[in-house]
Amino acid sequence: MDSTKLITALSCCSDENISLLFEAGAQPEADFLVLKEQHAHRLHSLYIHPQLTEFQNYGPWLLEIDNAEQLPDYLTSLPGCAAVIVSTRYSSMLAVQLSRGCTIVQPDGSTALTRFYASHVIGVLAQCAENDWHAFLFNGITQWWLPGETQWQTLAINPPEVDKPTNHIIRLDKATWQQITDKPEVTSVLREWQKMPTSRAFPPCAQRLMVIKALKKAECLKLDKSKNRILYALFFLNGGNMPESGVLTRTMSP
């Protein structure tokens, strides 16, 4: 993935702090433990709630980046990179701030563990400037970069509209919750495709976008049954010539 635009923008941020947000679960646990030992003083987990600490080796972390020149090597070698964040706050403090995004209160009052940093989620949250929690979640963040299909792209964060925010808990109404919740077909295809080798060439955020594109192609073919749309999407994502795709072809109903 092309990071030229990203690196150029970060080279002008010498007075601010750069953090790389990645998911530890994207790599074997043994590999992450080695990374954790090598960068112990520069790694900060977002799973700091007592009920989440046991899952830290699989969840989101911030890695302190000393300067923009170091970033390309990490983006190339570290699996699960989900965001590059520029902030006036140190990474350790930013991790505490962002940890609040890991749990979101749904419209029915129940709490859900979320990948709030996924592009389709954070893109919605960044626009909710009328809420108290928005001011807390994005405090001090001057740039937020997300992986796209071919290059890194910036997140548009609306300026906070609350002068004196008091509540950092993220509560979403029904309309907003529906915006960040994928349709069952997207979830099904993404889950199955991530088990296949072809998915590993793409970052998680790009995987979701590609799944949505594949399902739209299935709709254009006027496949009425959900099962057939799902199977066609998997066929498409595997290039139509993978072993898995052959199985899908035989399975699809006429």
Domain end: 180, 213, 239, which one? Answer: 180
Q: What is the pLDDT of residue 203?
A: 72
Number of domains making up the chain: 2
C-alpha to C-alpha distance for 208 and 49, rounded to whole angstroms: 27
Domain end: 144, 160, 180, which one? Answer: 180
Q: Does residue 194 share a domain with residue 165?
A: no
Q: Which of 75, 73, 71, 25 is nearest to 45 (CA)?
A: 25
Cβ–Cβ < 8 Å for 57, 29: yes
Q: Does residue 89 share a domain with residue 67?
A: yes
Q: Does residue 232 share a domain with residue 203?
A: yes
Q: What is the pLDDT of residue 246?
A: 47
User: What number of CA atoms fall less than 13 Å from residue 27's CA on the CB side?
Assistant: 19
Structure token pair of residue 32? 């992450």
Q: What is the pTM of this model?
A: 0.80
Q: Does residue 211 share a domain with residue 148?
A: no
- For the beta carbon of residue 51, count every other beta carbon within 10 angstroms: 9
Structure token pair of residue 203? 């970052």
Q: Does residue 98 share a domain with residue 51?
A: yes
163-192 residue pLDDT tens: 999 999 999 999 999 999 878 898 889 889
| Residue 247 pLDDT grade (very low, low, confident, very high; cuts 50, 70, 90) | very low
Q: Does residue 143 share a domain with residue 37?
A: yes
Q: Which domain holds residue 10?
A: 4-180
Q: What is the pLDDT of residue 251?
A: 47
Q: Which of 98-107, 164-173, 209-218 has the lowest mean pLDDT?
A: 209-218
Q: Does residue 202 share a domain with residue 163?
A: no
36-75 residue pLDDT tens: 999 999 999 999 999 999 999 999 999 999 989 999 999 9
- Which residues partner with 65 through β-bridges? 18
Q: Does residue 78 share a domain with residue 18?
A: yes
Q: Does residue 113 share a domain with residue 75?
A: yes
Q: Does residue 215 share a domain with residue 93?
A: no
Domain end: 117, 151, 180, which one? Answer: 180
Q: How far is CA 214 from CA 18, 76, 204, 207, 229, in A?
A: 34, 26, 15, 11, 9
Structure token pair of residue 11? 């080279």
C-alpha to C-alpha distance for 230 and 25, rounded to whole angstroms: 25
